Amino acid sequence: MKKSKSFQKKPEKLLGNEREGLLVAHFGAHAEIEDDKGHIFRCHLRKNLEPVITGDRVLWQPGEDNIGVIVDYLPRRSLLSRPENKKKLKPIAANIDAIIIVTAPNALSEHLIDRYLVAAENIKIPVKILLNKMDLLEESLQSEIIKKLKDYEKIGYQTFFSSTLTKHGLDLLDNFLREKSCVLVGASGVGKSSIISSFAPNEFVRVGETSAQGLGKHTTTMTRLYHLPHGGNLIDSPGVREFGLWHMDSNEIVQGFIEFKPFLNQCKFRDCQHLKEPGCAVKQAVEEGKISAKRYTSFKEMITENQDRLS
Ligand SMILES: Nc1nc2c(ncn2[C@@H]2O[C@H](COP(=O)(O)OP(=O)(O)OP(=O)(O)O)[C@@H](O)[C@H]2O)c(=O)[nH]1
Ligand SMILES: [Mg+2]
Ligand SMILES: [Zn+2]
């Protein structure tokens, strides 16, 4: 990378010894780094450094006015990203053990859940689904909504139910979260920040104002890591409207549907796309009720969207 000499020399002289730290929050050209004693330092991000993100372990040097500089990051064990546009992947969180897709009765979108599942399967990070705001689940909708969640359990995804209002289900979730680093993702207003606030009551977590719908306000604007009192970290992320899969090809999308796996080698044609081909074992499994028709429709939508984008 080309740099002017004067730019390179001056800051280096003023910097202290290199230290390791945990990136707990990231905003623009700055980040907050926590050292082993829990002290927080504000740091600049170097322009020539690859993007670092919440959850990264970084090397940094203290500087003037208590502002340091991040100089490098340590190898990651996992990284969740989402496409910002057709060309650019934006990292969301690093070194996570599980992704928790949070949803709510008035915001349950299988469209969004299925996209997160495909992304998570491809980066090989375990993924769970959490239905929050159980207190708002009207009795007339209960069986329908619970069935949707149970359908995900059937194919192998653990589901949780919670209400930050009544505290229902928080203990089971707490047990799961211990000693892990997890990230909460999902639409705006489903209660991601409220869940963190319930688990880490001593932290200041900005929560959306109560509204009839409680949706779509985009209260959280940055991804931040919180320590849990019983061990482990929970990362809060801004709510999303959509999770694009522009960065994935058809094969990666297929691999993201875990229940298709037993059938993939049984199609008549080796290069079967599982769309219109004769002798497709996946389509047959849908007809026989072994694969849910809804998930298969979701798969076809993703493939078509990606083909439209590429054309
Ligand atoms: N009834 C009910 N309301 C809840 C529950 N959890 C959160 N809320 C309310 O839902 C609204 C949105 O909560 P947030 O925690 O800010 O939602 P978020 O998912 O972090 O939203 P973004 O930051 O915009 O992505 C707030 O008014 C909360 O008080 C719940 O379990 N039940
Ligand atoms: Mg939030
Ligand atoms: Zn096929």
Same domain, yes or no, for 53 and 150?
no
Q: Domain range for residue 66? A: 16-73
Average pLDDT over residues 272-298: 97
Q: Has residue 24 been placed in a domain?
A: yes
CB of 198 closer than 6 A to ligand 1? no
Same domain, yes or no, for 141 and 177?
yes
Residue 305 burial (CB count, 10 A): 15
Same domain, yes or no, for 67 and 100?
no
How many domains does one find in the chain?
3
Report the separation in Å between the CA atom of 175 and the middle of ligand 1, taken as the mean of its atom positions: 21
For residues 3 and 14, the model is more confident at: 14
Average pLDDT over residues 244-271: 94
What does the alpha-carbon distance between residue 182 and residue 102 come to, in Å, rounded to a whole number? 12
CB of 223 closer than 6 A to ligand 1? no
The pLDDT assigned to 63 comes to 87
Q: Has residue 101 been placed in a domain?
A: yes
CB of 237 closer than 6 A to ligand 1? no
* Nearest atom in ligand 1 to 218's CA: 24
Q: Which residues are in the CB-under-5-Å shell of ion ligand 2?
A: 192-193, 219-220
The pLDDT assigned to 271 comes to 94
Among the listed residues 214, 227, 198, 24, the one whose alpha carbon sits nearest the alpha carbon of residue 104: 214
Q: What is the CATH number of the domain that holds 51?
A: 2.40.50.140
The pLDDT assigned to 256 comes to 97
Cα 261 from chain centroid (whole Å) = 23
What does the alpha-carbon distance between residue 36 and residue 152 come to, in Å, rounded to a whole number? 39
Q: Has residue 5 been placed in a domain?
A: no
Same domain, yes or no, for 119 and 214?
yes
What does the alpha-carbon distance between residue 70 and residue 108 come to, in Å, rounded to a whole number? 39
Report the separation in Å between the CA atom of 207 and the middle of ligand 1, taken as the mean of its atom positions: 6
Among the listed residues 204, 201, 191, 128, the one whose alpha carbon sits nearest the alpha carbon of residue 163: 191
pLDDT at 47 exceeding the cut of 90: no
Q: In this structure, which ligand is nearest to the CA of 267?
A: 3
Same domain, yes or no, for 96 and 141?
yes
What does the alpha-carbon distance between residue 239 and residue 190 come to, in Å, rounded to a whole number? 8
The pLDDT assigned to 1 comes to 45
pLDDT at 4 exceeding the cut of 70: no
The last residue of one of the domains, among 236, 270, 294, is 236
The last residue of one of the domains, among 236, 263, 289, is 236
pLDDT digits (tens, 9 = 90+) for 170-189: 999 999 999 999 999 999 99
Going by the DSSP 8-state scheme, the letter that residue 35 receives in this structure is: -
Q: What is the CATH number of the domain that holds 256?
A: 1.10.40.50
Same domain, yes or no, for 168 and 294?
no
Q: In this structure, which ligand is nearest to the CA of 195?
A: 1
Same domain, yes or no, for 197 and 123?
yes
Q: Has residue 4 been placed in a domain?
A: no
* Nearest atom in ligand 1 to 239's CA: 25
Q: What percent of the chain has pLDDT over 70?
A: 93
Report the separation in Å between the CA atom of 222 and the middle of ligand 2, taken as the mean of its atom positions: 9
- 303-309 long-range Cβ contacts below 8 angstroms, 24+ apart: 303/250, 303/253, 303/273, 303/275, 305/245, 306/245, 306/246, 306/248, 306/249, 306/250, 306/253, 307/250, 309/86, 309/246
9 falls in which pLDDT band (50, 70, 90)? very low
Same domain, yes or no, for 220 and 132?
yes
Same domain, yes or no, for 273 and 148?
no
Q: Has residue 244 been placed in a domain?
A: no
Q: In this structure, which ligand is nearest to the CA of 264?
A: 3
What backbone torsions phi and psi does residue 127 show, to the nearest 5 degrees?
-135, 140
In the beta sheet, which residues pair with residue 131? Answer: 103, 161
CB of 135 closer than 6 A to ligand 1? yes
CB of 220 closer than 6 A to ligand 1? yes
The pLDDT assigned to 96 comes to 98
Same domain, yes or no, for 228 and 155?
yes
The pLDDT assigned to 202 comes to 78
Whether the Cβ atoms of residue 243 and residue 271 lie closer than 8 Å to each other: no
For every residue of 193-240, DSSP letters joined together read HHHHHHH-TTS----PPP-SS--S-----S-EEEE-TTS-EEEE----
Q: Has residue 11 been placed in a domain?
A: no
pLDDT at 284 exceeding the cut of 90: yes
Same domain, yes or no, for 135 and 186?
yes
The pLDDT assigned to 23 comes to 98
What does the alpha-carbon distance between residue 142 and residue 164 come to, in Å, rounded to a whole number? 18
Report the separation in Å between the CA atom of 296 and the middle of ligand 2, taken as the mean of its atom positions: 31
* Average pLDDT for the chain: 90
Q: Has residue 8 been placed in a domain?
A: no
The last residue of one of the domains, among 212, 236, 260, is 236
Going by the DSSP 8-state scheme, the letter that residue 103 receives in this structure is: E
Q: What is the CATH number of the domain that holds 225?
A: 3.40.50.300
Average pLDDT over residues 114-130: 97
> Which of 10-24, 72-86, 213-227 has the highest mean predicted lDDT (pLDDT)?
72-86
CB of 159 closer than 6 A to ligand 1? no
Report the separation in Å between the CA atom of 248 and the middle of ligand 2, taken as the mean of its atom positions: 27
What does the alpha-carbon distance between residue 193 and residue 29 come to, in Å, rounded to a whole number? 24
The pLDDT assigned to 113 comes to 98
Residues 294/295/298/302 CA torsion (nearest 10 deg)? -160
CB of 218 closer than 6 A to ligand 1? yes
The pLDDT assigned to 165 comes to 96
pLDDT digits (tens, 9 = 90+) for 81-97: 988 877 788 899 999 99
Q: In this structure, which ligand is nearest to the CA of 102?
A: 1
**To test the ligand 1 pocket, which listed residue (173, 194, 221) has its Cβ within 8 A of the most ligand atoms?**
194
Same domain, yes or no, for 199 and 67?
no
Identity of the residue numbered 26: H
Q: Has residue 178 been placed in a domain?
A: yes
Which tokens belong to 175?
A: 């047990």
Query: Is the whole-model pTM more than 0.75?
Result: yes
